Amino acid sequence: MSYTPAAGGEHTRAVSPPSAAVPAERPMRMPVHRATTYAFDTSQDYADVLSGAQQGYSYARIDSPTVDAFAEAVAALEGAGLPDRVRGQAFASGMGALSTVFMALTEAGSHVVASRSIYGNTYSLLDRLLRRFGVRTDFVDITDLDAVREAVRPGTAVLFTETLSNPTMTVSDLPGLAQIAREAGAALVVDSTFASPAVCRPLEYGADVVVHSATKYIGGHSDTTGGVAVAAPSFIDRIRSARVDLGPCLAPDEAYLLHRGLETLPLRVQRQCGTAALFAAALQDHPLVERVDHPSLDSHPQAALAAKLFDPGRYGAVVTVHPRGGWEAGMAFADRLRVATIAASLGGTHTLAGHVASTSHRNMNDVELAAAGISPGAVRFSIGLEDPQDLIGDALAALGGN
């Protein structure tokens, strides 16, 4: 590599070292661009990139090559079965993605129809935070399409659901909801974190925007935080504009780790889903268990719908167990586990467990929990990559108090 030394004094030379060579060979790992700022040859080039007249990068909060590569990789998975190209936008967290999407698609006076059974912080965002800015939300039984249709009104801007609800694993009728949204002129926004594109791709069934907490299955190793939204360009342009103003940008190093996680996503999720089905079947008839939530079970209300919408043999890797005895029984059940670990989040290589009412859904009161179908003792398992029989034996021993 030839190099012409920078002119000037030692400090000028110190901050103007040789640039790294761009190899002719194709690297097997995606490069990480950590730069926050990018230089231009002319002021007009700088202005054109900022205005969008010219493609390029100026400032990492606006766009980053590494972050864009990750977002577009997710878009390639989510839009694999679509005739038209979709695009992605990445965020610092799943809630950052979801909050930005709602800010982009609503305004004061807007109305949202949302599933009653959703993640606790999403419920709080809609019912408390956005309400302060004049956005009203009606929460409905998302499995009752007539109730959803009745909740829609002239100001409805967004119909929101989760592919698989947290934590009851309720399956949304995505084609039916998409039809209602189209008739109302509203956007169907789907949080597909619990499914991942390795189980279901909501855009194929008519959703307008799909959102993920990439921290979970996409990253897959409990070592990075991020979020992503995928949609047609007309929606993504609005979402990107809101992201730039709000600032929840994803860091390049996080984007690299999340991009790496995509490479093993189908392998991990296939195994996790298989183990989850075995785990659910082994616990559903236990005398100390009131109910087990997993769409692979014939007892699940949307088992047939799941078989129709999901990739074969993949019904999600979260299993929620409702032990008899209420809050105290659920806490004791979780505390007695030895293979599964009590911890936040999901989608990683380790099986994680948590008492739902005191953790992920702590923002909901008893009435709201009951309406969402969550019992006081419910324990959510995010199934990892351990041997199925070890997880089953651990849970059965914990239920029995041994």
Residues designated catalytic? 61, 119, 191, 216
Which residues, including other chains, have CB under 8 Å from residue 37's CB and lie 6 or more apart? 58, 59, 60
Cβ atoms within 10 Å, residue 402: 7
| Cα 234 to Cα 238: distance, rounded to the nearest angstrom | 7
CA distances, 223 to each of 166, 260, 290, 347, 387 (Å)? 21, 12, 34, 11, 22
Classify each residue of 349-384 as buried b or exposed e, where b means 16 or more C-beta atoms within 10 Å of its C-beta: eebbbbbbbebbbeebeeebbeebbbbbbbbbbbbb
The number of residues making up the chain comes to 402
Q: Are the CB atoms for 276 and 296 separated by under 8 Å? A: yes
| Cα 201 to Cα 197: distance, rounded to the nearest angstrom | 5
| Cα 265 to Cα 269: distance, rounded to the nearest angstrom | 6
